[in-house]
Structure 1
Amino acid sequence: MSLPPTDGMLPAIIAKIEAGQRIDGKEFLCLAEKASLNQLGFLAHGVRMRLHPEPMVTYVIDRNINYTDICISACKFCAFFKAPEEDGGGVLTKAELAQKIAETQALGGTQILLQGGLHPDLPLDFYEDMLRFMKATGIHIHGFSPPEIVHFAKLSGQSIATVIQRLMAAGLDSIPGGGAEILSNRVRRELAPNKCDADQWIEVMVTAHALGLRTTATMMFGHIETMAERLEHLQRVRDLQDKTGGFTAFIPWPFQPDHTPLAAARTIDKTTAVSYLRMLALSRIFLDNVRNIQASWVTQGPKIAQLSLFFGANDFGSTMIEENVVAAAGVHFRLSEEEIRRLVTDAGFRPQQRLMDYTPV
C-alpha cells in the first residue's frame, strides 16, 4: 500500500522511506512542512514495524528521584528549581532515599531515574557516597544527565571521563538523556546560558558510550526553537549513534510552559496533540538507527500516548511512580502499571515490562 502522491519532493521522499532508506536533512524539512498528519503516522508506523515486527509495546517500572531542587542553572523553562539563596530548597537524606527505593521495589520497580539540580556546594564524593548507598539496595541507577556530569567535572576540576569512571565505580549503571532540550547552541544560550552547551552534552554521551555505559537521548521541543534547530538536534543524535550505538531510546516531549520564567516573559502556546504526534513521527522516521522511541504520556496523557503507538512509538516509557519536574509545570497525569498494560492491550499490542537496556522482565 502506498500513500497518495502530493506535490514537489514529497512522493520521492515517501517512496524512499517505504523502501527503508535513510532520509537527509532537506528531506526531513520537506516532510515536516508538506506531509499530512496521516502521512507521517503511516510512514512512522511502517518504520516502527520494520524495527519491531512483533506486536509488543514495552514499559519500565521506575521512579524519578530528584535528590536536590537547588540549582544554579536557572533555566528559563524550569518551574522546579530553587536558587541557592531561596527558601525551601533541600537535599534528600539517605533515609528519604531508602524509603523511596523500598516503595519502588515493592511495586516491582527495577530502576531509579536519579537527577537533580546543579548544586553549587556538593563535592563529587557526595554523589559517590549516594550511589554506593543506593546500589546496596540492588536497584538499577539510571542517573545524572550530561549537564550534571559537566557540572561535577567543573566543581571537582576533573575530566568528564574521570568523573564518569568514578560514578560507575560507585554504582552508576546508565545515563539518562535529560538536559538536552534542543541541541542547538543558539537555543541553549537564550534558555539556559549557565548549563552545558550542545557540544558538551554530546561529549558526555560519547565518553559514556566509550566507557561501556548505555544512555538515552531526549528532546524538549515547542518553545523558541525552529524546525531547522529540531533537525540539528536529531542530526546530532543520529550522527553519534552511527559512531557508538550507545543510545537505547529516544524520548521527544513538548515543553510545558505553566509556571516557568519563559512563559512569564513571553507568550508560548502549549504544544497541541497534533503537533506532538507529528514530531514523534518525524523523530521515528529520521532516527533510523535508534531502535526504541518512547511515548510521552506524562505530558500528553493516556489517550494521546495510546495514539502514539501508531505514530512511531514502540515503548510506553515509565510508570513514573514519582515525577516532580513536569508536575511543577502544572501537568499531573499518573498511570499505574495495570493502567499502562490495559492501554497497550486496548490498542492491540502486547505489554511487556523491560529493563533499561530493553531486556524483558
Structure 2
Amino acid sequence: MELQVETVFQTVRDKEFLRIADKVLNEKRINQEEALYLYRSNELTALGLLAEYINRKKNGMYAYFIVNRQINPTNVCMYQCDFCAFGVKKSDPKAYEMSMEEILKKVEELYLMGGREVHIVGGIPSYWDYDKYVSIVREIKKRFPEIIIKAWTAVEIHHMAKISGKSYEEVLSELKEAGLDALPGGGAEIFSERVRKIIAPYKANAEEYLEVHRVAHKLGIPSNATMLYGHVETLEERVEHMEMLRRLQDETGGFQVFIPLAYWPEGTRLGGTRTSSVDDLKTIAISRIYLDNFDHIKAYWVTLGEKVAQVALNFGADDLDGTIQEEKIVHAAGTKSAYGHSVDKLVNLIKKAGKTPAERDTFYRVVRVYD
C-alpha cells in the first residue's frame, strides 16, 4: 500500500522537521540531535507517517507474531532493582521456584499447541550454580528438539560468567552446545551510567551488556535488544542508548529486533507514573527512524496494551511479539494487559490495525500468512 507522504507533509510548517524528514526519505542516517528534535516536535502524525514509510520499505504490510511461551523459572533475585516489582528475596511470601519437571510441563503445553519458541528469563538467585542455567536449556532441548530456546538475558550471562570464572565466550559456547538458539534483549534498561546507579546499581553495566551481545553475535547466536523508558531517564539518554545499539549493529549485524519497553511503576520501589501513549508512539516511531540498521521494531503488547500496540503498527512497528501465555514480570508492575493471547486474538488485532498478520519463527522466517 502506497503512503501519500508528500500530501501529509504539505500541512507541516516546521522547517526543521521537514529538513530531517527529507534526509530520512533520501535514506540518510539522522544524528542524535535530529532524533531529539523529533522527540520534541509536535508533528506526531507526520512523525508516525515517516516511520511507517521506512517500515513498509522493510516489511511491506506484514505485522509479525509468534506462537511462543514465556517461562520465568523463579522470581527470587539477588539484585533487588528499584524499578522491578517482580524480583523478591527468598524469604518473601511471594517467592517461588519452578522444578525442572514444572518447566518441562510448560514447554510440553507449548509444543502440543504447535508452539515454536520458549522464552526463558527470571530472577537471579544468589544460590543457583552455573550448571543450573545450562541444565535447564539442555533438558528442554533434549525433550523437545524442535522448540527454539531463547533464554537468559545478558545480565544473566554476565552473572553466569562471574560465578563460574568462565569468559562470556565460554559460557555462551556451552549454552549453545546445550541447545540455546537465541538471546532475549532484557536487562538493557537505559545504558546511561547515571540512570543505572539509580535504578539498577548492581547489575551488569552497559559495556558488559553490549559485550555479551557482541560475543553472542560472533558465535552465531542472534539476539534482541531492549530499552526501558519512562522512569528517570532523559530524552538525551534514550537517544544515546539507541546510538550505542546502532553502533554495535553496524559492527556485528546480530540484532534481530529492537523492543522499546514502557516502564510500569506499580509495586516498585522507584515509583513514578506511567508514561503517555503519545510518548509510547513517539518512541516507537523514532526508534524505527534512528535504528536504520535494524530490520524489526516490536510493539510489545504486554507493556503498551493492545490498543496502543495496534496504533504502533502504523507508527513504524512491525511485530507484536506472540501468544506468551504467562508473562509475570511486567504484570507484577501493574500492566492490565492479558497474561497471554490466542493466535486468533493476535490475528484479529493485526487485521484491525490494517496490516497482514504473518506468523513467524524466532528468526523472522514467515511460517504462515493470514490474508
TM-score greater than 0.5 by the shorter chain: yes
Partner of 1:321: 325
Contact conserved, 2:83 with 2:199, CA < 8 A, in 1? yes
Equivalents in 2 of 1:108, 1:262: separation in Å?
Answer: 39
Partner of 1:182: 190
Equivalents in 1 of 2:95, 2:164: separation in Å?
Answer: 23
Tell me by how many angstroms 1:77 deviates: 0.9
Tell me by how many angstroms 1:272 deviates: 1.4
Q: How does 1:149-164 map to 2 (within 5 A)?
A: 149-164=157-172
Of 336, 345, 366, the residue aligned with 1:339 is 345
Contact conserved, 2:51 with 2:288, CA < 8 A, in 1? yes
Equivalents in 1 of 2:335, 2:219: separation in Å?
Answer: 36
Contact conserved, 1:144 with 1:175, CA < 8 A, in 2? yes
Partner of 1:306: 310
Are 1:255 and 2:259 an aligned pair? Answer: no
Equivalents in 2 of 1:126, 1:270: separation in Å?
Answer: 36
Cα deviation 1:104-163 (Å, max 9, x = unaligned): 122221111101212111111111211111112121110000000111111111111111
Contact conserved, 1:62 with 1:110, CA < 8 A, in 2? yes
Cα deviation 1:280-303 (Å, max 9, x = unaligned): 101111000100011121122222
Partner of 2:92: 86
Partner of 1:58: 64
Task: Give the letter aligned to residue 31 of structure 2.
Answer: D
Partner of 1:134: 140
Of 112, 117, 120, the residue aligned with 2:126 is 120
Q: Structure 1: 5+ residue runs without aligned partners?
A: none
Partner of 1:357: 363
Are 1:67 and 2:73 an aligned pair? Answer: yes
Equivalents in 2 of 1:304, 1:32: separation in Å?
Answer: 18
Contact conserved, 1:10 with 1:35, CA < 8 A, in 2? no
Across the two proteins, how many residue pairs are aligned to each other?
356
Task: Give the letter aligned to residue 170 of structure 1.
Answer: A
Contact conserved, 1:299 with 1:333, CA < 8 A, in 2? yes
Contact conserved, 1:20 with 1:47, CA < 8 A, in 2? no
Q: Structure 2: 5+ residue runs without aligned partners?
A: none
Of 215, 232, 238, the residue aligned with 2:240 is 232
Task: Give the letter aligned to residue 247 of structure 1.
Answer: F
Contact conserved, 1:104 with 1:321, CA < 8 A, in 2? no
Equivalents in 2 of 1:132, 1:217: separation in Å?
Answer: 24
Greater mean alpha carbon deviation, residues 32-41 or residues 227-236: 32-41
Contact conserved, 1:72 with 1:194, CA < 8 A, in 2? no
Contact conserved, 2:12 with 2:43, CA < 8 A, in 1? no
Greater mean alpha carbon deviation, residues 174-183 or residues 7-16: 7-16
Cα deviation 1:202-221 (Å, max 9, x = unaligned): 00000000011000001110
Are 1:293 and 2:300 an aligned pair? Answer: no
Identity of aligned pairs, percent? 38
Cα deviation 1:14-69 (Å, max 9, x = unaligned): 1111222210111111111124211210111011011123x211101111111111
- Structure 2 counterpart SS, 1:176: coil
Task: Give the letter aligned to residue 303 of structure 1.
Answer: K
Equivalents in 2 of 1:346, 1:289: separation in Å?
Answer: 28
Partner of 1:109: 115
Tell me by how many angstroms 1:5 deviates: 4.1
Equivalents in 2 of 1:208, 1:45: separation in Å?
Answer: 30
Task: Give the letter aligned to residue 58 of structure 1.
Answer: Y
Are 1:199 and 2:193 an aligned pair? Answer: no
Tell me by how many angstroms 1:8 deviates: 5.1
Q: How does 1:30-45 map to 2 (within 5 A)?
A: 30-45=37-52
Equivalents in 2 of 1:82, 1:58: separation in Å?
Answer: 34
Equivalents in 1 of 2:347, 2:41: separation in Å?
Answer: 35
